[in-house]
Amino acid sequence: MSIGATLAAARRRGGLTVHDVSESTRVTEPIIRGIEQDDYAECGGDFYARGHIRAIARAVGEDPEPLIEEFDSTWRSARETSAAEAFSPAMPLRTRERRRVRGTAVLGMLVLAVLAFAGYKFVSGVGHPHPAAAASLHPSPAGPGSPGKANAAQSSPVVTSSPAVSSSAVASSPPSSSPAPAPLTVRALTPASVTAFGPSGPGSGDHPQLAAQAVAGNPAAPWYSQWYATPGFARLKTGTGLLVDMGRTVTVSAVRVWMTARSGASLQLRAGARPLSRWLPPVASAANTGGLVRLQPGAPAHVRYLLIWFTKLPPDNAGHYQASVYRITVKGQP
């Protein structure tokens, strides 16, 4: 039995759900589901995969060591990330901090030295007339034109506190901050493809041959679902929808959906990195709506796939319930 099958079986024996294991281990539900299917792509490397396996095994009552040994023999990458590499970015920051502290200390010592020298000169000069003043009060026998006295008066040093003031100003001035980056421009993004999506995934939705008409913009020729006897799909399924593939990972800020029905529909905007239901969590929703529906995530979503998922159908003109979409627009940054 594989690692994932062993952990899944132990979880079921313990009566635990994936949510229960996630709450006790702090490992996200998509990662737990991936490990139970022996998919370690979302773990971020062997170092983290071992940690997740060990935490999940302890939560479900399994011995983690045989599972770790099996992982190393079966799934270990050619080059794995060590713990030192995983946390190495913190080391240069400490080095820079030590250099910054050392530089500040040296600057402070220079400021104190300048202040001490200025104070000494000030104290030593109190009570003693300046050489130039002494020369003017007590002229020498040689007279005011004596070269020796004139040179003494001209060469006497003058010390001011300006160097100390400038040094302290440099020490206390805050570092200049870089200007804030300009906000990114939101614009319309073009989907790569649209596919009918059902509870079983892509291709299992209603009328897949009409899916491209959901983005064509023609109200007279929309994509439409099958008709059902009740708004809740007559309990035949949990929902139906359209999977929008952007072709690459983009930043999605808002999605607009145009429907022919004016009211009565409830739908979700789901977004994720893979075209599978468990990888497409809801990011926005609208209830009892129709016409133009605006779906905006709480925060911009960095995803490739968008799912317009109907959970309640609006009424049609024949006494049934049916969804129809003729335009979908996506706004964000590529």
Instruction: State the number of CA atoms in the 13 A half-sphere of 237 facing the CB.
Output: 20
For residue range 23-34, what is the model confidence (pLDDT) as tens digits? 888 899 999 999
Q: Is residue 284 part of a domain?
A: yes
191 & 315 share domain: yes
Any domain includes 131: no
Asked if residues 10 and 61 have their Cβ atoms less than 8 Å apart, the reply is yes
| Backbone angles phi and psi of 179, in degrees to 5 | -65, 145
Residue 255 sits in a domain whose CATH number is 2.60.120.260
Answer whether residue 136 is part of any domain. no
What whole-number distance in Å separates Cα of residue 327 and Cα of residue 320? 22
Is the confidence at residue 166, as pLDDT, over 90?
no
Q: Is residue 118 one of the residues assigned to a domain? A: no
SS3 for 213-228, per residue? HHCCCCCCCCEECCCE
Structure letter (DSSP) for residue 75: T
C-alpha to C-alpha distance for 26 and 8, rounded to whole angstroms: 17
Q: Is residue 22 part of a domain?
A: yes
**Rounded to the nearest 10 degrees, how much is the dihedral formed by the CA atoms of 64, 69, 71, 72?**
140
Report how many domains make up the chain.
2
Mean pLDDT of 234-251: 94
Q: Which domain holds residue 200?
A: 187-333
Query: Looking at the structure, do residues 193 and 311 belong to the same domain, yes or no?
Result: yes
Q: Is residue 304 in a domain? A: yes
pLDDT at residue 151 in the model: 41
pLDDT of residue 263: 92
Q: Which amino acid is at 177?
A: S
pLDDT at 131: 45
CA distance 140 to 307: 103
Q: Are 77 and 194 in the same domain?
A: no
66, 84, 102 — which closes off a domain?
84
Q: How many CA atoms lie within 13 A of 99 on its CB side?
A: 6
User: Residue 146 domain-assigned?
Assistant: no
Given a cut of 80, whether residue 324 has pLDDT beyond it is: yes
In the chain, the percentage of residues whose pLDDT exceeds 70 is: 71
- 45: confidence class by pLDDT, cuts 50, 70, 90: confident
Q: Give the pLDDT score at 114.
A: 76
**Where would I find the beta strands (DSSP E) of 187-300?**
187-189, 193-198, 201-202, 223-224, 240-259, 265-272, 282-289, 292-295
Report which of residues 293 and 159 the model is more confident about.
293
Give the pLDDT confidence score for residue 318 in this predicted structure: 82
pTM exceeds cut of 0.75: no
322 has a pLDDT exceeding 80: yes
Domain termination site, one of 30, 49, 84: 84
Give the pLDDT confidence score for residue 125 in this predicted structure: 59
Structural domain ending residue among the three candidates 39, 66, 84: 84
Helices 3-13 and 29-36, packing angle to 10 deg: 120
Summarised one tens digit per residue, pLDDT across range 197-214 is: 999 899 889 999 999 999
CA torsion sign, 97 to 103 to 108 to 109?
Answer: positive
Q: Is residue 233 part of a domain?
A: yes
Distance of alpha carbon 219 from alpha carbon 142, whole angstroms: 114
Q: What is the CATH number of the domain that holds 72?
A: 1.10.260.40
Which amino acid would we find at residue 166? S
What's the rounded Cα separation, in Å, for the pair 88 and 206? 51
